[in-house]
Chains A and B, each alone.
Chain A
Amino acid sequence: SQQGEEDPQALSIQEGENATMNCSYKTSINNLQWYRQNSGRGLVHLILIRSNEREKHSGRLRVTLDTSKKSSSLLITASRAADTASYFCATDGGEYNFNKFYFGSGTKLNVKP
């Protein structure tokens, strides 16, 4: 199975600190996407990184991808209480297969004010 797995499962930090979440997957990918989900709500797309990219930035978000290790990390800098949510990575089927996406179990981030 391709399913990605995030770690840690839960992360609790103080406002202003950085939060790093990791994602590992098993087979080749075309791209990897990170999503945020507030409790009981929908999935908000954060960032997509292609398999030929190593790092990508969007505001306070920094994503890295290491295809040799089949892993990605999401860094949120200067965290805010509003960043409290679950964060998921999603990978595709690789080899230009975009018919199916796999989600990990997520990292539950708690940012304390």
Chain B
Amino acid sequence: EPEVTQTPSHQVTQMGQEVILRCVPISNHLYFYWYRQILGQKVEFLVSFYNNEISEKSEIFDDQFSVERPDGSNFTLKIRSTKLEDSAMYFCASRQSGAVSGEQYFGPGTRLTVT
């Protein structure tokens, strides 16, 4: 069964460093998303991406964040200068279509630890 994959599963970085989190969405999906979940808290929407551009972003997704679909398969989230509060699980998700019945599938997540 097709699935969303994410790498790495765990990333440790020092404050101020740049990180790139990678995702491979399901191959025939057109809509892509990033979410984060701080330990013990709810899943929060970061950004959605369709047709090679950002569709919507949350207030969390400030200038330190960027997304890219560099080729036909990968979808990346870059954090330019990490802060301690960026420590969280980051989930990528994809959706096949804009139809009402289009289900959103999540990857296993990348645990980002900023020290």
Q: Taking beta carbons and an 8 Å cutoff, which residues of A are in contact with B?
A: 3, 30-31, 33, 35, 40-45, 48, 50-51, 88, 90, 96, 98-106
Could you tell me if A50 and B100 are in contact, using CB atoms closer than 8 angstroms?
Answer: yes
Minimum Cβ distance to chain B for residue A12 (Å): 18
Could you tell me if B42 and A105 are in contact, using CB atoms closer than 8 angstroms?
Answer: yes
Docked Cα-Cα span, A43 to B104, in Å, equals: 10
Docked Cα-Cα span, A45 to B95, in Å, equals: 12
Could you tell me if A90 and B104 are in contact, using CB atoms closer than 8 angstroms?
Answer: yes
Docked Cα-Cα span, A88 to B107, in Å, equals: 16
Bits for B39-51, please: 1 = Cβ < 8 Å to A, else 0. Answer: 0011111001010
Contacts of A106 in B (CB 8 A): 42
Taking A96-B98, A99-B55, A99-B56 as contacts, is the C-beta distance between A45 and B44 under 8 angstroms?
no
Could you tell me if A100 and B101 are in contact, using CB atoms closer than 8 angstroms?
Answer: no
Contacts of B102 in A (CB 8 A): 98
The prevalent SS among residues of B at the interface is strand
Could you tell me if B45 and A100 are in contact, using CB atoms closer than 8 angstroms?
Answer: yes
Minimum Cβ distance to chain B for residue A83 (Å): 19
Could you tell me if B98 and A98 are in contact, using CB atoms closer than 8 angstroms?
Answer: yes
Could you tell me if B104 and A33 are in contact, using CB atoms closer than 8 angstroms?
Answer: yes
Could you tell me if B98 and A42 are in contact, using CB atoms closer than 8 angstroms?
Answer: no
Q: B75 at interface (Cβ–Cβ under 8 A)?
A: no
Give the residues from 89 to 115 in chain B that come closer than 8 angstroms, CB to CB, to chain A: 89, 91, 93, 95, 98, 100-109, 111
Contacts of B50 in A (CB 8 A): 99
Docked Cα-Cα span, A44 to B105, in Å, equals: 7
Contacts of A51 in B (CB 8 A): 100
Partner of A31, one of B56, B89, B101, B107: B101
Contacts of A41 in B (CB 8 A): 108-109
Partner of A48, one of B44, B55, B101, B107: B101
Contacts of A100 in B (CB 8 A): 45, 48, 56, 58
